[in-house]
Structure 1
Amino acid sequence: MNIKQLLATCFVATTLFTACKKSPNEATPDVIDTSGNLYSFWVTTSNGSYLLTTNDLMKDTLLSPNNNKGIDITSYLPASFYGVYAYNHQGKFYLSNDGTRFSQLEITSEGKLKETNNFAFSGNFYLGKVLDEVSSADELVITKTAGTTNKIKNVLEQPIYFMNTKNLTLNKTLTVEIPMIKYIPKQTNGQDDDPYIVPTSLTVRGNKLFVGHKYKSNITKADIIDTTYVYVCDYPSLANGKITKDPRGGFAAGHWEVNKTTFLDDNNDLYIMTRRTTTGAYGILRIKSGETEIDPDYFFDLKDYNVFANSFAANIQKLGNGKAYICPFVVDPAHQRVIADLRLLTGSTGSRTKMNFMENGKLYDVFKTYESRWFVYEYNPENNTVKRGAEIDPGVADIYHVNKIK
């Protein structure tokens, strides 16, 4: 039976899922144990946003804003969904919460989220993409959600900030100029549109920067133009820029938040998610290692799979050994194969997190069962198995992040 046939039996199979644990009880801790491993979950409820912490993701326990004194982080967020504009790096949180202020925060043993530093931008700033490939413990390379359209040059000027994490100052700022299309599309009523660019991914591979981007209508704000555009230039000089494009999969998928919609495999091939404006179907294009043009002989069509089910801004995770996690599926992109559907393995409706992580070769993410219970799951890509860990209070509305703090 292949994976698509298995999907058809998903609801039947999950009714037989009998391994549900009873919600265990745990004594309320007075302080947060920061002496060993520490993990956190960014959750929202009807009353606000909280960080829940644990020293063991796989422990049979119930994590709740009530029984383990969840850290109230509501004051840092104008809206709960701003978790998509937050990032965890080297155990500290980085977020933009008022349109200019960029904050660095950390969890203390007293059960608080403490701002350790901040940087005030002179103009509009919400945290966009993070260039993981070139960030380090001492420097975080980031963008803001959208740059500035320069009508004279007919380019999008997208700044890249090199933020010193020790004192939260800017080491430098570079600006990549992405050429805009040279025609003006029309609306169905014949009205001229004035589309604008949204960067959907930034990836550094060796001495090249690849910027996936899409066009949105200035009138309807909807995604338009079903062509994948990737701007390629030298890095870090940003010289010798050019556009490579491909019409087979739709636009370069994603939006401007911190989620990743590209990944590098073990061979250093770059894979780019695509999406159709008409059908919403996803696909994958490839730029092979050492090349700067989209591979004309490769397209992984995912139209028959509900990629990113329940989670538009999910984070792609490289699993190693040629595999990647594109929620809720595990795929082998080089051979264009879907290996597993983690909804079936976990007996769940899927994951809604915007940030998951790998540790010791295993993936950790949170899934919601058909009984509306949240559980941490450990996925082992070597043998395609899952283990269920801690439960999270079913009263939680959403879970944005799963992070390792230390």
Structure 2
Amino acid sequence: MKKLNWKNVSAMLLATVCAVPLIQSCSKTPDNNKGPETPVTPKAYAIFVTVGNASSSENYYTLTAGDLMKDTLLSPVNSGVEPDNITFWVDIYSAFNGGNFYYTQDGNIISKQRIVNGKYKEIGNIVAGADSWQLGMMKTVFNSSGLNFLSWEAKYDPATDIIEKNLYIVDTTGAMTVKSKNAIKFPVPTYKLYRDDGKELDKKDIAITPTSFTIRDGKAFVGFYYDWVTKIDTAYMLAFDYPALTNVKLLKDARLGHVSGAWYASSSSFTDDNGDYYFTTISKDKKYGLLRIKKGATEIDPTYAYDLKDLGDISSIASWGSYAGIDHHAYLKDGLAFLGSYIIDVRNKKVIKDLNSFGLGKVQNTMDTYTENNNDLYVVLKTDDARWFIAKYDVTANTLKRGVEVHSGIKGISRIGRLY
């Protein structure tokens, strides 16, 4: 596990950020204050940015804004809020909900933090055994039970020929308390898996990779694939009772490829206002598709398969043999969903708009997709001259407008969220 020194920002990083005008000082905001703290008026929104490059350590900052559509320039220098004890994996094994940021530290700690008076403050944490990855959060779902997440660790049970991966349910109403930790039972594949060197993969080494996760109507659904080396063009989905984890059922569909997405925070699935659950697939030739499970059903709908091959690769890093790409899909309203840079009518299988066609910049993939009122979709744009903007797409008006600009010295923006 790679660790970063968050008390020292690299000279190269600061030189890059400071090279642009309008920045008066490049000293970091002090971590300690002498005397009593002056209360800071909270801002409504958070923009999570990454700074760094291949020759320097990455650093993570949260920029706050009262209005995402204001014509202003934000920079991590002096105004960026930096969490303490953040690791390289902060963007991957993390979640943001209700103004709270949850992230895994070295796989055995999950810290709950929020911004208080302009600084991150830990509200609570849960701890597992040292040198474990039990608390490495993969897919997450927040519901009335709290934070639900799939653990990184998987264990093969030779007695039952089952691969077990734990589902944690964590009470997050105050600090953090583990309510339950129970194993989801994945069947071992009937076909052989192979390593990079061509040798057969041992069952105990099979890595279950969840790509989508939802909970609805007393059932949980986990889209997954067994291994990213072996080329199997079949979508697998596990359905089971929630929270009992009983009545496990394996769903399979070979029409459009395997389930798309990676194991971390990004979402490759969504539920519409009819209660129908949609999830994306990707084929061997990197073409996307869309399948669904109807409300109340525990079978993949045999009457629905939306081939998105004409859109090409809607994920920035989608490739067979990698992690099938970062997906950031979100449901909006009236059958419209956001996939890649596209607004799509998923019920009628029709592309409504490519947001890149507005000419304001290219939509950047993020870990989360932030929406308001099921109508206002906030996206990250990057222009040809490397300027970064937050933009709002109005679903009803079918318009895209740029708002806050983020300093061009950053490496990327992982998510947008609401603080309160």
TM bracket (short chain): 0.7 to 0.9
Partner deviation per Cα, 1:141-168 (whole Å, 9 max, x = no partner)? 2222343232332222121111121121
Partner deviation per Cα, 1:155-207 (whole Å, 9 max, x = no partner)? 22121111121121111223211112123246798743344421222211202
Structure 1 segment 1-400 matched on structure 2, within 5 A: 35=41, 37-46=43-52, 48-66=59-77, 69-73=79-83, 75-79=84-88, 82-109=90-117, 111-122=118-129, 123-124=132-133, 125-132=135-142, 135-136=143-144, 139-165=146-172, 166-185=174-193, 191-194=199-202, 195-216=206-227, 222=229, 224-276=231-283, 278-310=284-316, 312-360=325-373, 361-400=375-414
- More deviation, 230-239/394-403: 230-239
Shift of 1:64: 0.2
Instruction: Rate the CA distance shift 1:314–1:274 in 2: closer, same or farther, 3 A.
Output: closer
Mapped partners of 1:37, 1:69: distance in 2:
12
Q: Aligned AA for 2:404?
A: A
Shift of 1:382: 1.2
Shift of 1:371: 2.0
Mapped partners of 2:251, 2:74: distance in 1:
47
Mapped partners of 1:56, 1:256: distance in 2:
32
Q: Aligned AA for 1:288?
A: K
Normalization by structure 2: what TM-score? 0.82
Instruction: Rate the CA distance shift 1:254–1:343 in 2: closer, same or farther, 3 A.
Output: same
Instruction: Rate the CA distance shift 1:239–1:309 in 2: closer, same or farther, 3 A.
Output: closer
Contact 2:195–2:229 under 8 Å retained in 1: no
Mapped partners of 2:39, 2:92: distance in 1:
27
Mapped partners of 1:190, 1:324: distance in 2:
40
Partner deviation per Cα, 1:324-371 (whole Å, 9 max, x = no partner)? 111211111111111111111253222132112111331112111122
Mapped partners of 1:307, 1:331: distance in 2:
15
Instruction: Rate the CA distance shift 1:342–1:395 in 2: closer, same or farther, 3 A.
Output: same
Question: Pairwise CA RMSD of aligned residues?
Answer: 2.6
Match of 1:153, SS?
coil
Q: Aligned AA for 2:221?
A: F
Contact 1:24–1:60 under 8 Å retained in 2: no
- More deviation, 296-305/179-188: 179-188
Shift of 1:222: 2.5
Q: Aligned AA for 2:176?
A: L
Match of 2:91, SS?
helix
Mapped partners of 1:104, 1:316: distance in 2:
25
Mapped partners of 1:55, 1:378: distance in 2:
15
Q: Aligned AA for 2:262?
A: H
